[in-house]
Amino acid sequence: MAEEHLFADAYQPRQIARRVEEMGVAKARAEALSLFVLALLAGAFISLGALLFTVIVTESQLGFGVTRLLGGLGFCLGLVLVVVGGAELFTGNNLLAMAWASRLISGRQVLRNWCLVYLGNVIGCLGTVLLVLLADTAGLAGGAVAESALQIARGKVELSLLEAFARGILSNTLVCLAVWLAMGGHSVSDKILAILFPISAFVAVGFEHSIANWFFLPYGLALDGQAAISLAGVGHNLLAVTLGNIVGGTLLVAGVYWLAYLRGDSRQG
């Protein structure tokens, strides 16, 4: 039986839709402390991926596209740890909208999950920022990592609200598609491979992920000795990107796949 499972074909899209729907019900009904602890982990995991991206792009001489692609591959560490290691990530949990659309869970349950997980993600990110500062990772390459972190943060706060919102939509479309594809795999290697391309793509082309930004922006602020990064700009980015992430995950992935595969047999929970 184990051998049959090892070589089993990937789940088909309609099966993935059912699996995502069932996952949404389980997450919506999960005990609060477990959700929160797993959300702390996810915030830390995504932060580690963001830090790895920062180190990879520092002083790279490989050219813009290749450097961004390698940085994106490094950032994949975060979602690989979330999916394979087991954690609760706000952006991925936007897929709970499928179970809500099928009336298996209530809007209140969805909001409970999102609020708990978002809070846990934020605290996990800020805790990781503190540890990274204590470790003086910014001092690597003679302080070049600190300059990269500042440049990344400055670039984010300089985005207009519309740019940040649109990039947030596109980012979480790809993140939720990565989770969707990973749900189609059977093995750890299946799941990792499913994650690599969508996540590398969103990072390489500069889309915006709200939870990653809870690492990038506070880290940049902590290293900013010249007050070049405004708190207002940080707040505007996080708000616009979070809203964009919700739209991308709920409408462009959960909503579209629900219409395609589950609309005809929705039911009361």
Domain ranges for the chain, please list them.
12-262
For residue 8, the model assigns a pLDDT of 63
Please identify which residue in the block is written with the tokens 């995502």. Answer: 20
Name the architecture of domain 12-262. Up-down Bundle (1.20)
For residue 225, the model assigns a pLDDT of 80
Closest CA to 86 of 51, 135, 52, 35: 35
For residue 268, the model assigns a pLDDT of 44
Q: What is the dihedral of CA 237, 240, 241, 244, to 10 degrees?
A: -170
For residue 264, the model assigns a pLDDT of 79
The pair of structure tokens assigned to 150 is: 């500042």
248 exposed, middle or buried (CB, 10 Å; 0-12, 13-18, 19+)? buried
The model's pTM is 0.94
Closest CA to 208 of 155, 152, 170: 170
Neighbours of 129 (CB within 10 A): 23
Residues of the chain short of pLDDT 50, as ranges, are: 1-4, 6-7, 266, 268-269
Give me the amino acid identity at 229. I
Closest CA to 51 of 179, 222, 178, 165: 222
For residue 226, the model assigns a pLDDT of 83
